[in-house]
A and B are shown apart, each in its own frame.
Chain A
Amino acid sequence: MPDGVAIRAQDLQKQFRAVSAVRGVSFEVRAGEIFSLLGPNGAGKSTTIAMLSCLLQPTQGDASVCGHSIRQSPQRVKACLGVVPQDIALYLDLSARENLEFWGKMYGLRGATLRQRVAEVLAIIGLTERQKDKVGTFSGGMQRRVNIGAALLHRPDVIIMDEPTVGIDPQSRRHILDNVKELNRQGMTVLYTTHYMEEAQELSHQIAIMDQGKIIVCGTHAELIRLVGERTRLDLTLHSEDDALVACWRSIAGVHSLSADHGRLTLLVDDSNLVLPRLFETAAQVGVRITSVTIEEPNLEAVFLHLTGKALRDAL
């Protein structure tokens, strides 16, 4: 890939009559990265990846995938790209194996190569035992796994996954997230869209937050958190309230604020790993027992709230 960039979007815009779905999106995904597009429904994530997948022609702007322009060389883009659509785009009356064989043929695989890749992908998605069963008889999570498998058959350099964990059980979700990490570990570049901040946080090397057709911020998780300057929040419950102890805690380095209310204390701290041992130590010295601790790390929810003035979940 030229200059180590797998995907480069430059001022992508998409207009549907009077509606501007995407309004000048630019970003770069380096080869071997997991890059997440995070945002509420209607933010423009799916339209952006539809353009990158050559399903939609941009109204303006261009993008390159593996060095090929989506405008000038769509067939080359498609050949190096695997796309996992948001919907279960499979033939429900065909078996898992028949589905994978068909999609493999669409990517030009034939004969022994096709059979070998189908067997490998069935193993990756954990459905070797159920390969002969019709996809229509599978649970939602299993269907999602076949949906992903169909995009892996031709060993693409780049895989685009559009909200692949929507509406499935926690076990299947875990399986899919582990698959994504494993594929990335093997060198595959992943462009991942989601409105679950936990997924973006867990998976991504870089995260772009989209809202109303625009990327409002892009960076690593740490960079985004630093951007808003949020501190860790600690909620503690004490067995008995002690004014001297509260005063002592206020003076501990790294504690920025403390409020107390009938034995329940809320602290804003720089680094909970440094502060918490000191809290337990001083409480023990004065004989006060800490009965509960809740640590709330700064998260992308806070970033979204900070930048848009609305909660991410409220915007869904």
Chain B
Amino acid sequence: MRILDIAAKDIQQILRDWKSALFLLIMPVLFTIFFGLVFGPVTSGDRQRDPRLPIGLINQDPGGQLSDSLEELIGQSAVIRPIRLGQEAAERAVDRIEQGDLVAVVRIPVGYSQAVSAGQPISLEVITNQQTPSGRTALIALDTVTGRLFGAVESAHISVEAYQSRIGFDGDAARQTAFQEAFQRAVLAWGSPPLTVQVEQATGTPAPGGRGVISNGFTQSSAGMIVQFSVFGLITSAMLLVLERKNRCLQRLLTTPISRAEVIGGHLLAMFLVVFVQEALLIFLGQFAFGVNYLREPLAILIMMLALAFWAACLGLLIGALARKEDQVIVLCLGAMFFFSALGGAWFPLDVAGKAFSSIGHVLPSAWAMDGFQNIILRGMGFGSVLLPAGLLLVYALAFFGLALWRFSFE
């Protein structure tokens, strides 16, 4: 019970300090907006309406039945979105891939329809960067589309051959017409395949109310600022601990019938609750103001919130144990914030920073916190994807807690 009393007193003091609102809410919101705009500007046009991966398409076999059908199948893909390119644009295709405008460029070669109909080997020309997840995804999607095309051609051939052997055609024109009909039916059949794989878009979702704000940048900045300010927001609560030691209240507590464990537990609980409520507010804003879809896996997000809050509280306790003066709290909190945020991927995705940097970053708990949140809001993964990040956060939390206990002094 006394643990709750100490936690309630701490929270009362934190809420009474005007700096708390600044560090816990105002600054995180402002930084979320700022970084959101930096990483992923509010987009318009095709990308706003269609979040599929854009690929450039150059059809050098125009009018061919199969090449036209291939274009249709690409257009129906849930993963890639064709953008027709003229010859001039085709010459700058590689540049556009490097600039990120396109993830791939596909060229349908001359005579493609004829070669495929005749069963002769011919393949699409694809330019992409296979080192990127988007490039690899586009290649897989193109394989799927061409597989469907070849499947439709094959089934049309089988159908025609079967008719030929049982009834027979009146000439090549009738045979060609039958092939085209069979091919069309086969292509149409792909509209309702016997087996489908649901692909969830790993991007922001439109904000409710039709405000039409979609920003991939907010999926980075919202989660990033939650992680960053869970550390920076510790300033006021860690400061309380230092002041309590400095004004001898901490020592006076030990003259009452309360144990040292209860005192530490009370302060830890207050820090945990403050960070948790801060996370909840920022996630609420992220969901309903910035269109980041946290609530697609609410239980997973809750687990990440709890794990992050516990780790941050243990870090706050450690800072409160190490600092002897108020200015030391500020220095330690700022240092921790910069260190964990920059290296842990709170400011920019570790994916874009290269493998070595990403590996180094994942030594830090903040990187795992980012992974946990982004597995849900960016990568479209399920509940199971947060168990490892949350588990590792708890391990880090226990380590920090042990350090805090070791360094904690009541005098």
Residues of A within 8 A of B (CB): 53-55, 75, 78-79, 81, 83, 85, 87-94, 98, 102-103, 105-108, 150
The 8 Å CB contact of A91, one of B9, B256, B257, is B9
- Whether A105 contacts B247 by the Cβ 8 Å rule is no
CB distance from B144 to the nearest CB of A (A): 64
Determine the chain B residues whose CB is within 8 A of the CB of A94 once the complex forms.
Answer: 9, 12-13
Which single member of A78, A88, A92, A98 contacts B257 (CB below 8 Å)?
A: A78
Given A88-B247, A93-B17: A106 touches B256 (CB 8 Å cut-off): yes
Q: A55 to B248, alpha carbons, bound, how many Å? A: 12
Residue in chain A with minimal CB distance to B410:
A55
Interface contact A53-B255, CB-CB below 8 Å: yes
- B247, A106: Cβ atoms under 8 Å? no
The residues of A that contact B252 with a CB separation of less than 8 Å are 83, 85, 89, 150
B1-54, CB < 8 A from A: 2, 5, 9, 12-13, 16-17
- The answer to whether B5 touches A102 (Cβ under 8 A) is yes
Whether B253 sits at the interface, judged by CB under 8 Å, is: yes
Residue pair A93, B255 in contact (C-beta under 8 Å): no
In Å, the complex CA distance between A106 and B4 comes to: 11
B-chain residues with CB within 8 Å of residue A106 when the two chains form the complex = 2, 5, 253, 256-258
Going nearest first, the 9 A-B pairs with the smallest beta carbon separation are A89-B252, A83-B255, A106-B256, A89-B248, A87-B248, A105-B5, A78-B257, A53-B255, A79-B257
> Is the C-beta of B277 less than 8 angstroms from some C-beta in chain A?
no
Q: Pick the residue among A90, A92, A98, A103 that contacts B256 (CB under 8 A).
A: A103
Q: B249 contacts A90, CB within 8 Å?
A: yes
The reply to whether A81 and B255 contact each other, CB–CB distance below 8 Å, is yes
Q: Which of B246-284 contact A (CB under 8 A)?
A: 247-249, 251-258
Q: Mark B347-369, 1 if CB is under 8 A from A, else 0.
A: 00000000000000000000000
Q: Would you call B256 and A85 a contact (CB within 8 A)?
A: no
Hey, which chain A residues are within 8 Å of B5, CB to CB? Answer: 102, 105-106
Q: Contacts A93-B13, A94-B13, A102-B9; is A87 near B247 (CB within 8 Å)?
A: yes
How far does the alpha carbon of A54 sit from the alpha carbon of B253 in the complex, in Å?
Answer: 11
CB distance from A255 to the nearest CB of B (A): 53
Which residues of A sit under 8 angstroms from B16, Cβ to Cβ? Answer: 93
Distance from A25 Cβ to chain B, minimum over Cβ atoms (Å): 19
Residues of B within 8 A of A (CB): 2, 5, 9, 12-13, 16-17, 244, 247-249, 251-258
Chain B residues with Cβ under 8 A from A108's Cβ? 257
Chain B residues positioned under 8 Å from A54 (CB to CB)? 254-255
Main SS of the interface on chain B?
A: helix
The listed residue (A53, A92, A102, A103) touching B247 by CB distance below 8 A is A92
8 A-B pairs in the complex with CB atoms less than 8 angstroms apart: A85-B255, A89-B248, A89-B249, A89-B252, A91-B13, A91-B249, A106-B256, A106-B258
From A90, A94, A102, residue with most partner B Cβ within 10 Å: A102
Chain A residue contacts of B253, Cβ below 8 A:
106
Complex Cα gap A103–B244 (Å): 14
Chain A neighbourhood of B248, CB < 8 A: 85, 87-89
Instruction: Apart from A85-B255, A88-B247, A94-B12, list 12 A-B contacts with CB within 8 A.
Output: A53-B255, A54-B255, A89-B249, A91-B9, A91-B13, A91-B244, A93-B16, A94-B9, A98-B12, A102-B5, A105-B5, A107-B256
Asked if residues A105 and B13 are in contact (CB atoms below 8 Å), the reply is no
| Alpha-carbon distance between A89 and B410 when the two chains are bound, in angstroms | 13
A53 contacts which chain B residues (CB < 8 A)?
A: 255
| A90–B247 CA distance with the chains assembled, in angstroms | 7
By beta carbon, the residue of chain A nearest B5 is: A105
- A87's nearest neighbour on chain B, judged by CB, is B248
The answer to whether B257 touches A107, judged by C-beta atoms less than 8 angstroms apart, is: yes
- The listed residue with most B CB atoms (<10 A of its CB), out of A53, A81, A106, is A106
Most buried by A among B253, B254, B255, B257: B255
A93 to chain B, nearest CB (A): 6
Q: Does A89 lie within 8 Å of B256, measured CB to CB? A: no
Measured CA separation A79–B17 after assembly (Å):
33
CB distance from B249 to the nearest CB of A (A): 5
A31 to chain B, nearest CB (A): 20
Distance, CA A92 to CA B9, complexed state (A) = 12
Cα separation A14 to B26 with both chains bound (whole Å): 51
**Docked pose: A54 CA to B258 CA in angstroms:** 12
For the complex, give the distance between the alpha carbons of A85 and B251 in Å. Answer: 9
Identify the closest chain B residue to A151 (Cβ): B255
Are the C-beta atoms of A75 and B257 separated by less than 8 Å? yes
Which residues of chain A are near B251, meaning CB under 8 Å? 55, 85, 89
Nearest CB to that of B13 among chain A residues? A93
Nearest-neighbor residue (CB-CB) of A107 within chain B: B256
Collect the chain B residues with CB atoms within 8 Å of residue A88's CB.
Answer: 247-248
**A92 to B255, alpha carbons, bound, how many Å?**
19
How far does the Cβ of B4 sit from chain A's closest Cβ, in whole Å?
Answer: 9
In the bound assembly, the distance between CA atoms of A209 and B258 in angstroms comes to: 32
Find chain B residues with CB under 8 A from A93 CB. Answer: 13, 16-17
Contact B256 A78 (CB under 8 A): yes
Per the bound structure, the CA–CA distance linking A151 and B262 in Å amounts to 20
Separation in Å of the B389 CB from the closest CB of chain A?
Answer: 37
What is the bound-complex CA distance between A92 and B246, given in angstroms? 12
Closest A residue to B17 by CB, please name it. A93
